Structure 1
Amino acid sequence: MQAVGVNGKAYGQGVGIYMPGDDSFQSDVTSDSMACNGAPVGYFTSSSEVIPVKAGDTVTGSWLHTLTSTGPDDSADNKVIDSSHKGPVMAYMKKVSDATQNPSAGPGDGWFKISEAGLMSSTEWGVDALISAGGVQNVTIPECIEDGQYLLRFEVIALHSASVERDAQFYATDPGIKVNIYNNQGQPYPLSGTYAIPGKLSRWLSQRRR
Protein backbone atom coordinates (compact mmCIF):
# COMPACT_ATOMS: atom_id res chain seq x y z
CA MET A 1 0.00 0.00 0.00
CA GLN A 2 1.54 3.28 -1.14
CA ALA A 3 -1.05 6.04 -0.81
CA VAL A 4 -4.63 6.71 0.22
CA GLY A 5 -7.41 9.08 -0.77
CA VAL A 6 -10.76 10.12 0.73
CA ASN A 7 -13.77 10.97 -1.45
CA GLY A 8 -11.50 11.76 -4.37
CA LYS A 9 -8.95 13.78 -2.41
CA ALA A 10 -5.54 12.18 -2.83
CA TYR A 11 -2.84 12.20 -0.17
CA GLY A 12 0.84 11.89 -0.95
CA GLN A 13 2.76 8.64 -0.97
CA GLY A 14 3.23 7.42 2.60
CA VAL A 15 0.95 10.01 4.23
CA GLY A 16 -0.98 8.37 7.07
CA ILE A 17 0.53 4.97 6.21
CA TYR A 18 2.91 2.59 7.96
CA MET A 19 4.64 1.81 4.67
CA PRO A 20 7.24 -0.89 3.95
CA GLY A 21 10.22 -0.34 1.72
CA ASP A 22 9.93 -3.72 -0.01
CA ASP A 23 7.16 -5.99 -1.31
CA SER A 24 7.82 -9.07 0.85
CA PHE A 25 4.80 -10.95 2.23
CA GLN A 26 3.92 -12.01 5.76
CA SER A 27 4.34 -15.70 6.55
CA ASP A 28 3.06 -16.25 10.10
CA VAL A 29 -0.55 -15.59 11.10
CA THR A 30 0.43 -15.84 14.79
CA SER A 31 2.81 -12.89 14.47
CA ASP A 32 1.91 -9.35 15.58
CA SER A 33 3.04 -8.30 12.11
CA MET A 34 -0.21 -9.67 10.67
CA ALA A 35 -2.03 -6.68 12.17
CA CYS A 36 -0.21 -3.84 10.41
CA ASN A 37 2.82 -5.45 8.74
CA GLY A 38 6.31 -5.54 10.24
CA ALA A 39 9.22 -7.95 10.66
CA PRO A 40 10.50 -9.90 8.78
CA VAL A 41 9.53 -7.24 6.22
CA GLY A 42 11.79 -4.25 6.73
CA TYR A 43 12.55 -0.63 5.91
CA PHE A 44 9.28 0.83 7.21
CA THR A 45 8.37 4.49 7.23
CA SER A 46 5.87 5.72 9.85
CA SER A 47 3.57 8.72 9.49
CA SER A 48 2.56 11.12 12.25
CA GLU A 49 -0.47 12.32 10.27
CA VAL A 50 -4.00 11.05 10.94
CA ILE A 51 -6.19 11.34 7.84
CA PRO A 52 -9.69 12.71 8.55
CA VAL A 53 -12.45 10.32 7.44
CA LYS A 54 -16.18 10.34 8.21
CA ALA A 55 -18.62 7.44 8.42
CA GLY A 56 -19.93 6.74 4.92
CA ASP A 57 -16.86 8.16 3.17
CA THR A 58 -15.10 6.28 0.38
CA VAL A 59 -11.43 5.59 1.07
CA THR A 60 -9.07 4.46 -1.67
CA GLY A 61 -5.83 2.61 -1.20
CA SER A 62 -3.26 2.53 -3.99
CA TRP A 63 -1.14 -0.59 -4.45
CA LEU A 64 2.12 -0.76 -6.39
CA HIS A 65 4.50 -3.71 -6.75
CA THR A 66 7.38 -1.50 -5.58
CA LEU A 67 7.64 2.10 -4.43
CA THR A 68 8.58 3.19 -7.95
CA SER A 69 6.66 0.72 -10.15
CA THR A 70 5.41 2.15 -13.44
CA GLY A 71 4.93 -1.08 -15.38
CA PRO A 72 6.18 -4.67 -15.77
CA ASP A 73 9.51 -5.64 -14.24
CA ASP A 74 11.55 -8.77 -13.56
CA SER A 75 9.13 -10.11 -10.93
CA ALA A 76 5.72 -8.71 -11.92
CA ASP A 77 3.96 -8.50 -15.29
CA ASN A 78 2.28 -5.20 -14.37
CA LYS A 79 2.81 -2.32 -11.93
CA VAL A 80 0.45 -3.61 -9.21
CA ILE A 81 1.13 -7.30 -8.44
CA ASP A 82 2.02 -10.21 -10.68
CA SER A 83 -1.18 -11.54 -12.27
CA SER A 84 -0.28 -15.10 -11.21
CA HIS A 85 -0.96 -14.05 -7.60
CA LYS A 86 -4.69 -14.87 -7.65
CA GLY A 87 -6.61 -14.31 -4.43
CA PRO A 88 -8.97 -12.12 -2.39
CA VAL A 89 -8.71 -8.43 -1.62
CA MET A 90 -10.12 -7.16 1.70
CA ALA A 91 -10.15 -4.29 4.17
CA TYR A 92 -10.36 -4.26 7.98
CA MET A 93 -10.69 -1.57 10.65
CA LYS A 94 -9.82 -1.32 14.32
CA LYS A 95 -10.64 1.48 16.78
CA VAL A 96 -7.60 2.72 18.70
CA SER A 97 -6.82 5.52 21.13
CA ASP A 98 -4.03 6.96 18.97
CA ALA A 99 -3.65 6.00 15.31
CA THR A 100 -0.17 7.53 15.15
CA GLN A 101 1.05 4.71 17.39
CA ASN A 102 0.80 2.24 14.53
CA PRO A 103 2.17 -0.44 14.40
CA SER A 104 2.10 -0.91 18.18
CA ALA A 105 -1.65 -0.18 18.29
CA GLY A 106 -2.44 -2.84 15.69
CA PRO A 107 -1.89 -6.24 17.38
CA GLY A 108 -4.67 -7.78 19.45
CA ASP A 109 -8.44 -7.97 19.26
CA GLY A 110 -10.79 -5.40 17.77
CA TRP A 111 -10.31 -5.84 14.01
CA PHE A 112 -13.45 -6.14 11.88
CA LYS A 113 -13.83 -6.60 8.11
CA ILE A 114 -15.59 -3.89 6.08
CA SER A 115 -14.88 -4.98 2.50
CA GLU A 116 -14.11 -8.14 0.54
CA ALA A 117 -13.73 -9.36 -3.05
CA GLY A 118 -12.89 -13.04 -3.57
CA LEU A 119 -13.69 -15.21 -6.59
CA MET A 120 -15.86 -12.73 -8.46
CA SER A 121 -16.59 -14.93 -11.48
CA SER A 122 -15.23 -18.09 -13.08
CA THR A 123 -12.35 -16.05 -14.50
CA GLU A 124 -11.84 -13.12 -12.13
CA TRP A 125 -10.43 -12.82 -8.63
CA GLY A 126 -10.29 -9.79 -6.41
CA VAL A 127 -6.62 -9.43 -7.39
CA ASP A 128 -7.57 -9.36 -11.09
CA ALA A 129 -10.03 -6.54 -10.43
CA LEU A 130 -7.36 -4.71 -8.44
CA ILE A 131 -4.94 -4.98 -11.37
CA SER A 132 -7.62 -3.79 -13.81
CA ALA A 133 -8.21 -0.77 -11.58
CA GLY A 134 -4.54 0.14 -11.71
CA GLY A 135 -3.99 -0.92 -8.11
CA VAL A 136 -6.75 1.25 -6.65
CA GLN A 137 -8.86 -0.43 -3.93
CA ASN A 138 -12.05 1.37 -2.90
CA VAL A 139 -13.77 0.79 0.45
CA THR A 140 -16.76 2.50 2.07
CA ILE A 141 -16.52 3.29 5.76
CA PRO A 142 -19.63 1.86 7.50
CA GLU A 143 -22.22 4.52 8.28
CA CYS A 144 -22.63 3.13 11.80
CA ILE A 145 -19.01 3.79 12.78
CA GLU A 146 -18.72 5.89 15.93
CA ASP A 147 -16.37 8.84 16.23
CA GLY A 148 -12.77 8.17 17.12
CA GLN A 149 -9.44 7.13 15.65
CA TYR A 150 -9.10 3.93 13.65
CA LEU A 151 -6.52 1.88 11.84
CA LEU A 152 -7.57 0.80 8.33
CA ARG A 153 -5.83 -2.27 6.92
CA PHE A 154 -5.97 -3.02 3.20
CA GLU A 155 -5.13 -6.67 2.56
CA VAL A 156 -4.31 -8.99 -0.34
CA ILE A 157 -3.84 -12.77 0.04
CA ALA A 158 -1.92 -14.51 -2.76
CA LEU A 159 -3.12 -18.10 -3.31
CA HIS A 160 -0.92 -19.24 -6.20
CA SER A 161 1.00 -21.65 -3.91
CA ALA A 162 -1.77 -22.30 -1.41
CA SER A 163 -2.56 -25.93 -2.23
CA VAL A 164 0.11 -26.89 0.33
CA GLU A 165 -0.18 -25.84 3.97
CA ARG A 166 2.24 -23.04 4.87
CA ASP A 167 2.73 -22.08 1.21
CA ALA A 168 0.00 -19.43 1.03
CA GLN A 169 1.06 -15.82 1.29
CA PHE A 170 0.20 -15.38 4.14
CA TYR A 171 0.12 -18.92 5.72
CA ALA A 172 -2.84 -20.66 7.51
CA THR A 173 -5.20 -23.64 7.39
CA ASP A 174 -8.36 -21.54 6.88
CA PRO A 175 -10.33 -23.01 3.92
CA GLY A 176 -10.01 -19.67 2.16
CA ILE A 177 -6.22 -19.74 2.51
CA LYS A 178 -5.22 -23.41 2.21
CA VAL A 179 -6.82 -24.10 -1.17
CA ASN A 180 -5.86 -25.38 -4.61
CA ILE A 181 -6.95 -22.68 -7.07
CA TYR A 182 -5.93 -24.63 -10.21
CA ASN A 183 -8.12 -26.95 -12.29
CA ASN A 184 -7.03 -30.06 -14.23
CA GLN A 185 -5.79 -27.90 -17.09
CA GLY A 186 -3.59 -25.85 -14.79
CA GLN A 187 -5.80 -22.79 -15.00
CA PRO A 188 -5.91 -20.73 -11.80
CA TYR A 189 -9.56 -21.12 -10.82
CA PRO A 190 -11.27 -23.49 -8.33
CA LEU A 191 -12.95 -26.49 -9.94
CA SER A 192 -16.07 -26.01 -7.84
CA GLY A 193 -16.43 -22.36 -8.78
CA THR A 194 -16.84 -21.42 -5.12
CA TYR A 195 -14.46 -19.75 -2.71
CA ALA A 196 -14.77 -18.98 1.02
CA ILE A 197 -13.21 -15.57 1.67
CA PRO A 198 -11.23 -15.57 4.95
CA GLY A 199 -12.78 -13.66 7.84
CA LYS A 200 -16.32 -12.43 8.39
CA LEU A 201 -17.81 -9.14 7.29
CA SER A 202 -18.95 -6.77 10.01
CA ARG A 203 -22.56 -7.09 11.17
CA TRP A 204 -23.31 -3.72 9.51
CA LEU A 205 -22.39 -5.00 6.05
CA SER A 206 -24.09 -8.36 6.58
CA GLN A 207 -27.33 -6.59 7.44
CA ARG A 208 -27.11 -4.26 4.42
CA ARG A 209 -26.70 -7.22 2.05
CA ARG A 210 -29.98 -8.82 3.12
Structure 2
Amino acid sequence: MKYIFLSLLAVASTASAHYTFPELIVGGKTTGQWTYVRKTANYQSNGPTTDVTANAIRCYELAPGTGAETYTVNAGDTVGFTAVSSISHPGPLQFYLAKVPEDKTAATWDGSGNVWFKIYSQGATFSDGQMNWASSGRSPPTFPYIHLRKSQEQRLTSTRIGKQQVPVTLPKSLPSGEYLLRVEHIALHSASAVGGAQFYISCAQLKVANGGTGSPTGLVAFPGAYKATDPGIQINIYYPVPTSYTPPGPAVWTG
Protein backbone atom coordinates (compact mmCIF):
# COMPACT_ATOMS: atom_id res chain seq x y z
CA MET A 1 0.00 0.00 0.00
CA LYS A 2 2.87 2.36 0.80
CA TYR A 3 4.27 1.99 -2.70
CA ILE A 4 0.89 2.63 -4.30
CA PHE A 5 0.62 5.82 -2.24
CA LEU A 6 4.04 6.97 -3.33
CA SER A 7 3.18 6.32 -6.95
CA LEU A 8 -0.03 8.32 -6.73
CA LEU A 9 1.77 11.11 -4.91
CA ALA A 10 4.35 11.38 -7.66
CA VAL A 11 1.69 11.58 -10.36
CA ALA A 12 -0.31 14.18 -8.45
CA SER A 13 2.69 16.38 -7.76
CA THR A 14 3.65 16.54 -11.43
CA ALA A 15 0.15 16.87 -12.85
CA SER A 16 -0.98 20.03 -11.07
CA ALA A 17 1.94 22.45 -11.14
CA HIS A 18 2.28 24.67 -14.21
CA TYR A 19 4.12 27.97 -14.57
CA THR A 20 4.90 31.01 -16.69
CA PHE A 21 7.90 33.30 -17.26
CA PRO A 22 6.20 36.73 -17.13
CA GLU A 23 8.94 39.07 -15.98
CA LEU A 24 12.34 40.16 -17.26
CA ILE A 25 15.20 40.40 -14.77
CA VAL A 26 18.14 42.72 -15.45
CA GLY A 27 21.11 42.93 -13.11
CA GLY A 28 19.19 41.01 -10.46
CA LYS A 29 16.22 43.42 -10.50
CA THR A 30 12.73 42.55 -11.71
CA THR A 31 11.01 44.84 -14.21
CA GLY A 32 7.27 44.12 -13.90
CA GLN A 33 5.18 41.29 -15.29
CA TRP A 34 4.50 41.41 -19.04
CA THR A 35 6.22 44.79 -19.33
CA TYR A 36 9.23 43.68 -21.38
CA VAL A 37 8.02 40.12 -21.93
CA ARG A 38 5.42 39.28 -24.58
CA LYS A 39 2.26 38.10 -22.89
CA THR A 40 1.91 34.36 -23.46
CA ALA A 41 -1.21 32.40 -24.33
CA ASN A 42 -1.03 30.68 -20.93
CA TYR A 43 -0.89 33.88 -18.87
CA GLN A 44 -4.06 32.84 -17.05
CA SER A 45 -3.97 29.04 -17.19
CA ASN A 46 -0.19 28.57 -16.81
CA GLY A 47 -0.59 25.54 -19.06
CA PRO A 48 2.10 24.37 -21.51
CA THR A 49 2.30 24.11 -25.26
CA THR A 50 3.14 20.65 -26.60
CA ASP A 51 3.16 20.82 -30.42
CA VAL A 52 6.70 21.47 -31.67
CA THR A 53 5.38 22.07 -35.20
CA ALA A 54 3.09 24.96 -34.22
CA ASN A 55 4.03 28.64 -34.20
CA ALA A 56 3.38 28.68 -30.45
CA ILE A 57 6.70 26.89 -29.94
CA ARG A 58 8.44 30.16 -30.84
CA CYS A 59 7.27 32.58 -28.16
CA TYR A 60 3.90 31.12 -27.09
CA GLU A 61 2.50 34.64 -27.36
CA LEU A 62 -1.02 35.92 -27.65
CA ALA A 63 -2.22 37.12 -31.06
CA PRO A 64 -2.28 39.60 -32.70
CA GLY A 65 0.61 41.62 -31.20
CA THR A 66 2.95 41.83 -28.27
CA GLY A 67 2.22 45.07 -26.44
CA ALA A 68 5.59 44.73 -24.72
CA GLU A 69 8.32 47.34 -24.37
CA THR A 70 12.00 46.89 -25.22
CA TYR A 71 14.67 47.04 -22.49
CA THR A 72 18.17 48.37 -23.18
CA VAL A 73 21.06 46.27 -21.84
CA ASN A 74 24.77 45.91 -22.57
CA ALA A 75 26.48 42.92 -24.13
CA GLY A 76 27.83 40.85 -21.25
CA ASP A 77 24.99 41.79 -18.87
CA THR A 78 23.18 39.17 -16.83
CA VAL A 79 19.46 39.03 -17.56
CA GLY A 80 16.77 36.44 -16.93
CA PHE A 81 13.14 35.71 -16.12
CA THR A 82 11.01 35.10 -13.07
CA ALA A 83 9.13 31.80 -12.95
CA VAL A 84 5.63 32.05 -11.49
CA SER A 85 5.18 30.41 -9.18
CA SER A 86 8.27 28.27 -9.73
CA ILE A 87 9.63 25.66 -12.13
CA SER A 88 7.84 22.59 -10.86
CA HIS A 89 8.67 19.81 -13.32
CA PRO A 90 11.90 17.96 -14.19
CA GLY A 91 13.51 18.94 -17.48
CA PRO A 92 16.10 21.10 -19.25
CA LEU A 93 16.32 24.89 -19.21
CA GLN A 94 17.52 26.71 -22.35
CA PHE A 95 17.90 30.27 -23.63
CA TYR A 96 17.90 31.45 -27.25
CA LEU A 97 18.42 34.83 -28.91
CA ALA A 98 17.24 36.09 -32.30
CA LYS A 99 18.55 39.33 -33.81
CA VAL A 100 15.86 41.60 -35.18
CA PRO A 101 16.35 42.55 -38.87
CA GLU A 102 17.55 46.10 -39.47
CA ASP A 103 14.26 47.16 -41.05
CA LYS A 104 12.15 45.91 -38.12
CA THR A 105 11.85 46.42 -34.36
CA ALA A 106 11.67 44.01 -31.45
CA ALA A 107 8.20 45.34 -30.69
CA THR A 108 6.75 44.19 -34.01
CA TRP A 109 8.97 41.40 -35.36
CA ASP A 110 7.55 37.87 -35.29
CA GLY A 111 10.86 36.00 -34.94
CA SER A 112 10.34 33.82 -38.01
CA GLY A 113 13.11 32.18 -40.02
CA ASN A 114 16.47 30.58 -39.24
CA VAL A 115 17.43 33.32 -36.81
CA TRP A 116 17.54 31.71 -33.36
CA PHE A 117 20.79 30.70 -31.68
CA LYS A 118 21.25 29.04 -28.32
CA ILE A 119 23.25 30.85 -25.61
CA TYR A 120 22.62 28.56 -22.64
CA SER A 121 21.59 24.97 -21.99
CA GLN A 122 21.17 23.25 -18.63
CA GLY A 123 20.45 19.54 -18.80
CA ALA A 124 20.58 16.83 -16.16
CA THR A 125 23.24 15.63 -13.77
CA PHE A 126 23.43 12.04 -12.58
CA SER A 127 24.10 10.67 -9.10
CA ASP A 128 22.93 7.79 -6.93
CA GLY A 129 21.04 6.30 -9.86
CA GLN A 130 18.99 9.47 -10.33
CA MET A 131 18.59 12.24 -12.90
CA ASN A 132 18.86 15.59 -11.15
CA TRP A 133 17.53 18.86 -12.58
CA ALA A 134 18.91 22.10 -11.17
CA SER A 135 16.07 24.21 -12.57
CA SER A 136 13.28 22.28 -10.86
CA GLY A 137 15.17 21.34 -7.71
CA ARG A 138 14.04 17.74 -7.93
CA SER A 139 14.81 14.22 -9.03
CA PRO A 140 12.02 12.24 -10.70
CA PRO A 141 10.86 9.18 -8.73
CA THR A 142 12.29 5.82 -9.68
CA PHE A 143 9.99 3.05 -10.93
CA PRO A 144 9.01 0.41 -10.00
CA TYR A 145 8.52 1.66 -6.46
CA ILE A 146 9.25 -1.71 -4.88
CA HIS A 147 12.92 -0.91 -5.56
CA LEU A 148 12.88 2.45 -3.76
CA ARG A 149 15.45 2.91 -1.05
CA LYS A 150 14.51 4.81 2.11
CA SER A 151 16.42 7.90 0.95
CA GLN A 152 14.47 7.88 -2.31
CA GLU A 153 11.15 7.65 -0.46
CA GLN A 154 12.08 10.68 1.63
CA ARG A 155 13.13 12.58 -1.47
CA LEU A 156 9.81 11.77 -3.16
CA THR A 157 7.55 12.76 -0.27
CA SER A 158 9.34 15.98 0.70
CA THR A 159 8.30 19.32 -0.79
CA ARG A 160 10.92 20.74 -3.14
CA ILE A 161 10.52 24.16 -4.67
CA GLY A 162 12.03 24.78 -8.09
CA LYS A 163 13.75 27.89 -9.34
CA GLN A 164 11.79 31.13 -9.15
CA GLN A 165 14.39 33.09 -11.12
CA VAL A 166 16.46 31.85 -14.07
CA PRO A 167 19.43 34.01 -15.13
CA VAL A 168 21.63 33.99 -18.22
CA THR A 169 24.66 36.08 -19.18
CA LEU A 170 24.64 37.63 -22.64
CA PRO A 171 27.84 36.94 -24.61
CA LYS A 172 30.21 39.93 -24.55
CA SER A 173 30.81 39.53 -28.28
CA LEU A 174 27.09 39.78 -29.05
CA PRO A 175 26.61 42.45 -31.74
CA SER A 176 24.62 45.56 -30.87
CA GLY A 177 21.01 45.68 -31.99
CA GLU A 178 17.53 44.59 -31.00
CA TYR A 179 16.84 40.99 -30.03
CA LEU A 180 14.21 38.59 -28.84
CA LEU A 181 15.35 36.58 -25.80
CA ARG A 182 13.57 33.24 -25.55
CA VAL A 183 13.48 31.17 -22.37
CA GLU A 184 12.39 27.55 -22.63
CA HIS A 185 11.81 24.94 -19.96
CA ILE A 186 10.84 21.49 -21.20
CA ALA A 187 8.95 19.40 -18.65
CA LEU A 188 9.67 15.72 -19.18
CA HIS A 189 7.52 14.07 -16.52
CA SER A 190 5.06 12.78 -19.18
CA ALA A 191 7.46 12.66 -22.12
CA SER A 192 7.59 8.90 -22.71
CA ALA A 193 4.86 9.26 -25.35
CA VAL A 194 5.09 11.43 -28.47
CA GLY A 195 3.62 14.83 -27.66
CA GLY A 196 3.93 14.31 -23.92
CA ALA A 197 6.72 16.82 -23.32
CA GLN A 198 5.49 20.18 -22.04
CA PHE A 199 7.07 23.45 -23.19
CA TYR A 200 6.99 26.56 -20.99
CA ILE A 201 8.20 29.51 -23.05
CA SER A 202 8.44 33.31 -23.01
CA CYS A 203 10.16 35.94 -25.15
CA ALA A 204 11.52 39.25 -23.87
CA GLN A 205 12.44 42.23 -26.05
CA LEU A 206 15.97 43.61 -25.68
CA LYS A 207 18.09 46.33 -27.23
CA VAL A 208 21.76 45.42 -26.84
CA ALA A 209 24.26 48.28 -26.64
CA ASN A 210 28.08 48.25 -26.49
CA GLY A 211 28.13 45.01 -28.42
CA GLY A 212 30.96 43.08 -29.97
CA THR A 213 31.79 41.62 -33.34
CA GLY A 214 30.75 38.02 -32.77
CA SER A 215 28.96 35.99 -35.43
CA PRO A 216 26.40 33.62 -33.88
CA THR A 217 26.31 30.07 -35.24
CA GLY A 218 23.81 27.22 -35.16
CA LEU A 219 20.88 29.31 -36.40
CA VAL A 220 17.53 27.51 -36.30
CA ALA A 221 13.85 28.31 -36.78
CA PHE A 222 10.90 27.84 -34.44
CA PRO A 223 9.01 25.81 -35.48
CA GLY A 224 11.56 23.63 -37.24
CA ALA A 225 14.36 23.24 -34.70
CA TYR A 226 12.74 20.32 -32.90
CA LYS A 227 10.97 17.09 -33.78
CA ALA A 228 8.52 15.42 -31.40
CA THR A 229 10.65 12.26 -31.53
CA ASP A 230 13.97 13.93 -30.72
CA PRO A 231 15.62 11.91 -27.92
CA GLY A 232 15.79 15.00 -25.72
CA ILE A 233 12.01 15.47 -26.08
CA GLN A 234 10.52 11.97 -26.19
CA ILE A 235 12.11 10.18 -23.25
CA ASN A 236 11.14 8.09 -20.23
CA ILE A 237 13.01 9.67 -17.32
CA TYR A 238 11.62 7.23 -14.74
CA TYR A 239 12.41 3.61 -15.60
CA PRO A 240 14.92 2.53 -16.51
CA VAL A 241 16.60 5.73 -15.36
CA PRO A 242 18.68 7.15 -18.24
CA THR A 243 22.43 7.41 -17.78
CA SER A 244 22.84 10.35 -20.16
CA TYR A 245 20.74 13.17 -21.56
CA THR A 246 21.24 15.78 -24.29
CA PRO A 247 18.73 18.66 -24.58
CA PRO A 248 17.29 19.27 -28.05
CA GLY A 249 18.48 21.94 -30.44
CA PRO A 250 21.81 23.25 -31.71
CA ALA A 251 25.05 23.64 -29.79
CA VAL A 252 25.42 26.65 -27.50
CA TRP A 253 27.04 29.73 -29.04
CA THR A 254 29.32 31.18 -26.38
CA GLY A 255 30.57 34.17 -28.36
Q: Report TM bin, short chain.
A: 0.7 to 0.9
User: Which secondary structure does the structure 2 equivalent of 1:18 belong to?
Assistant: coil
Aligned residues: 178
Whether the aligned pair in 2 keeps the contact of 1:27 and 1:169 (CA below 8 Å) is: yes
* Alignment correspondent of 1:116: 121
2:246 to 171, 186, 196: 196
Whether the aligned pair in 1 keeps the contact of 2:98 and 2:181 (CA below 8 Å) is: yes
Amino acid at match of 2:231: P
Q: Which runs of 5 or more residues in structure 1 are unaligned?
A: 65-78, 185-190, 206-210
5 Å-filtered alignment, 1:1-210, equals 1-20=21-40, 21-22=43-44, 23-38=46-61, 46-64=66-84, 79-82=85-88, 85-96=89-100, 97-101=104-108, 104-122=109-127, 123-129=131-137, 134-170=163-199, 172-184=228-240, 191-204=241-254
Q: Distance in 1 between matches of 2:65 and 2:125?
A: 34
Amino acid at match of 1:165: V
Q: Distance in 2 between matches of 1:134 and 1:45?
A: 29
How far residue 90 of structure 1 moved from its aligned partner, in angstroms, is 0.7
RMSD after superposition: 2.4
With over 3 angstroms needed to count, the CA separation of the structure-2 counterparts of 1:88 and 1:111, relative to structure 1, is: same
Taking structure 1 as the reference length, the TM-score comes to: 0.75
Amino acid at match of 1:176: G
How far residue 198 of structure 1 moved from its aligned partner, in angstroms, is 0.9
User: Which secondary structure does the structure 2 equivalent of 1:127 belong to?
Assistant: coil
Name the structure where strand makes up a greater proportion of residues.
2
Taking structure 2 as the reference length, the TM-score comes to: 0.63
Amino acid at match of 2:86: V
Q: Which runs of 5 or more residues in structure 2 are unaligned?
A: 1-20, 139-159, 200-226
